[in-house]
Amino acid sequence: MCNTKIHETQPLLNLKLDRVMQDIVYKLVPGLQHSEEKRIREFYQSRGLDRVTQPSGDDTVGGDPMGLPYSTFDHSRAHYFRYDEHVSLCLEKLR
- In whole angstroms, what is the distance from residue 43 CA to residue 36 CA? 10
Residues 37 and 20: their CA atoms lie apart, in Å, by: 17
Q: Can you tell me the distance from the alpha carbon of 79 to that of 60, in angstroms, rounded to the nearest whole number? A: 19
Domain locations along the chain: 19-78
pTM above 0.85, yes or no: no
Per-residue pLDDT tens, the chain, 95 aa: give them.
567 667 778 777 777 778 888 888 888 888 898 999 899 889 989 988 887 665 554 444 444 555 545 455 555 555 555 656 677 778 888 87
